[in-house]
Amino acid sequence: MACRAILVLLVVAIGGANGLTDCPTAFFNFGDSTTDTGSLENVAPGDPGLPPYGMQFFGEPSKRYAHGRVIPDFFALAFKTPLLQPYIQAGAYDFRHGVNFAVSGSTASNDSTVTPLYLPIQLNQFIRFYKTTESVKRQKGKCSPLAKFLPSKKAFENALYTIKFGGNDLPLAFLHNGSNIASGMNVIINKVIPDAMTNHENAMETLYRYGARRFLLTGLDNVGCSPNFVSQYSTFPLDDRGCLLFPRESVASWNGALVQLVERMRAKLTGASIGLFNVSAGSEEIRSNLSKFGFNPNLSTQVCCGAPGGPVDNNYNSQIKCGHPGSSVCDNVGEHIYWDGPHLTEPYQRLLAIMLLEAKYTSSGVNYTSLCNLDYSKFGDDVTFDEVYGDTCEVTFTS
């Protein structure tokens, strides 16, 4: 009896006190360019459709704002599922293991400066997708072949729902107010963050009503470190790592509000598992030990794919973007933190993905690596898309 009690406690410790001890079989993601796997590119073709984007792993432009894989890709590789396809799809689809609703440039607040597909719209897309799936599965005859490429009801209920915003919400608020930092802060504290948290809350409650029971949210890293933002505010003070000082308070306020939101939702959504990844803490571990993780400390503020000539000596030039004439790619991308300015390199994203999967720096998180015996063997730099998915029809990768 004692051994049985210990086993029960172990399962609860690994899977969470909510009793969700099995592994997710599908993933539904909401977010911005850090997790977009093609939605914006399918709507408005642009930079991610140009080389050298996608050259790592994919071997061709992959519709991602990255030179290789982003976090949802690493999740798929770890769980041995097809890559998470965007909801806005330009080719054949395979949504059996979930959908990616993330859109580059989107916000959790209601700022549609870059794209109108902010969090409330992404949520509406999920609802439309859920109802369409139900409708198709009810039909018979000629529609039945379509149904097999859609999630089952159990997949919706057993899925992991991931949400990550903020990387556009705060910078856009500052940019709207120019050099008036105090005005930007006022808008962020009194408008942007409250709107974003309200939309987060509504999204989680709605997803819960549609069967969602596993949530994994990600906080906001220091946006003041992004080379493009540093260049935009080139006359403002920097810390000893080359990061802008003024965004710190707004980032802390965003993350504090997210902590409070998650605490409320844990009390409200009975039986749900809600993890919150402190990405700032994760990044601090990496940035405090750059050499240990394979990065070159001397390149920590430098853009790999860009061009000189900007106001700051960091190889970011807003007039010559990555992939455009005049830009170039570094020879040692793995030693860089930043790929094209606002976006991280694949090695950095890989480290964050592993932290998420291991529930490191995650409050009330689930260590899926232990629970699901995850496999990181396909995470390496030398692994290619064709090697993993080339001989299967499970994944449609449209360039």
The answer as to CATH 3.40.50 being correct for domain 22-281+354-386 is yes
pLDDT at 16 over 50: no
**Average pLDDT score, the chain:** 92
Concatenating the DSSP letter of every residue in 142-159 gives GGHHHHTTS--HHHHHH-
Give the pLDDT score at 9.
36
Q: At 1, is the pLDDT very low, low, confident or very high (cuts 50, 70, 90)?
A: very low
Q: What is the C-alpha to C-alpha distance for residues 386 and 399, in angstroms, rounded to an integer?
A: 14
Helical pair 248-268 and 193-209, crossing angle rounded to 10 deg: 30
Q: Please tell me the predicted confidence (pLDDT) of residue 282.
A: 98
Confidence check: pLDDT of 19 > 90: no
Q: Residues 129, 147: contact at Cβ < 8 Å?
A: no
Ordered by start, the domain boundaries in the chain are 22-281+354-386
- Averaged pLDDT for residues 113-117: 92
pLDDT at 139: 83
Rounded mean pLDDT of 266-278? 98
How far does the chain reach from its first CA to its final CA, in angstroms?
A: 57
Confidence at 190, pLDDT banded by 50, 70, 90? very high
What pLDDT was estimated at residue 13?
40
pLDDT tens for 367-378 read 999 999 999 999
Which tens digit of pLDDT belongs to each residue from 152-176?
999 999 999 999 999 999 999 999 9
Q: Which two tokens stand for residue 306?
A: 């860009």
Express each pLDDT in 141-151 by its tens digit: 666 677 888 99
Among residues 86, 68, 67, the alpha carbon closest in space to that of 383 is found at 68
* pLDDT score of 145: 74
* 144: Cα within 13 Å, side-chain hemisphere: 3
**pTM for the complete prediction?**
0.93
Lowest mean pLDDT among 116-125, 148-157, 252-261, 286-295: 148-157
- pLDDT for the residue 327: 98
